[in-house]
Amino acid sequence: MEEFNESFPYKRVVITGGAGFLGRFIVARLQAQKDVEIFVPRRAEYDLVEAADIKRLLAATRPDLIIHLAAVVGGIGANQKNPGKFFYDNLMMGTQLIEQSRLYGVAKFVALGTVCAYPKFTPTPFREDDLWNGYPEETNAPYGLAKKMMLVQAQGYRQQYDFNTIFLLPANLYGPGDNFDLESSHVIPALIRKCLEAREKGAAFVEAWGTGNASREFLYVDDCAEGVLRAAALYDESEPVNLGTGSEIKISELLQLIARLTRFKGEIRWQTDRPDGQPRRRLDVSRALEKFGFRAQVPLEEGLRRTVEWYETTRAVRSTGEESSRGNEQELQGSLPS
């Protein structure tokens, strides 16, 4: 698949969560486009849970396209600690952004959902038509359901108001610039950090949640950015679309790969009293290829190597005690799901 180099059809673009992990890659790609003005609202100025702040944002930026990446989210532990907050904040952000964008006359709204919205026991590969065939995995159901409500709203608004909203479902993201804070990080950055620190300390083992038997699909963050912008430019239909690689890996195999890339040679101890989360995740990615020509390009091992190198380099050049992954100022509105 060639990189999407055609002229981008929208000229004033608001990217919520644009200072976050995925957002920075989307912003970088859009900056390469001619005559595109990009606006990234910051939480200190615009609280997207509040309708009044959304109205101010729209009046100030006058966008013809909104890409809604903003989310209050974390890994399994963070989901267990914050189910009410994750549900309310994500629901209110999505619902009010779509409604106010419709009222303002925004030409297109791109809503980023989450693979957590799929039912717990969805047959693999996950097909978009399976979204409503059961309840999500319990530890992240509040977050997943809040995000899935944007799909309901998008389809209803397209039918009643002819409002052009699309809904994308990315696989688990990873890559340079990820959040490596162990209190809120997702599985790949958490395991990279644990292995590197264990190697440096000469530790005999690392501990990992669960049994290692659960599987996940991982999408390199810049591949996802490419998919989002292709969909924004080329896709105008009501059906949700998966963004992923179409392949999965067991967490136990992932940890072995990360241990090799980080040169950690100690023992891996599984905390079997901790939850695995959803048993399997692998997406059917045929619709994205058919509808807007998206196919992921970066193999998992190569993406992991880049991520490990970025984290090691970033830690090495920082002389302060700050968490090296916090270049996005830890904005809650700038992250994506595990």
- Residue 240 has a pLDDT of 98
Q: What is the 3-state secondary structure (H, E, C) of 154-219?
A: HHHHHHHHCCCEEEEEECEEECCCCCCCCCCCCHHHHHHHHHHHHHHHCCCEEEEECCCCCEECEE
Mean of the per-residue pLDDT values of the chain: 91
pLDDT confidence bin for 5, thresholds 50/70/90: low
What's residue 111's pLDDT?
Answer: 98
Percent of the chain with pLDDT over 90: 80
User: Count of CB atoms within 10 A of residue 186's CB?
Assistant: 25
What is the predicted pLDDT for the residue at 319?
36
Residue 183 — pLDDT band, cuts 50, 70, 90? confident
What tokens were used for 178?
């990820």
- Catalytic residue (one of 143, 174, 235, 311): 143
Average of pLDDT values for 2-21?
86
Check the CA dihedral 87-93-97-100 and report its sign.
Answer: positive
Interval 65-75: pLDDT, tens: 999 999 987 76
Who wins on pLDDT, 186 or 3? 186
What's the CA gap between 267 and 194, in Å, rounded? 12
For the full predicted model, state whether its pTM sits above 0.95.
Answer: no
168: β partners: 112, 241
The DSSP element (H or E) to which 307 belongs, if any, is helix 300-317
- Beta bridge mates, 108: 65
Q: Which residues contact 64 (CB under 8 A, 6 or more apart)?
A: 10, 11, 12, 13, 106, 107, 108
**Residue 331 confidence (pLDDT) above 90:** no
Active site residue 143: yes
The token pair at 8 is 């981008």
Q: List domains and CATH numbers for the chain.
A: 12-334 (3.40.50.720)
> To which H or E segment does residue 122 belong?
none
Q: Which of 4-8, 201-205, 262-266, 324-328 has the lowest mean pLDDT?
A: 324-328
pLDDT grade for 288, boundaries at 50, 70 and 90: very high
Per-residue pLDDT at 4: 55
**Mean local confidence (pLDDT), 209-216:** 92
Residue 9, strand partner residues:
none
Q: What is the pLDDT of residue 332?
A: 34
Q: Write down the pLDDT at residue 185.
A: 81
> Is residue 337 scored above 50 in pLDDT?
no
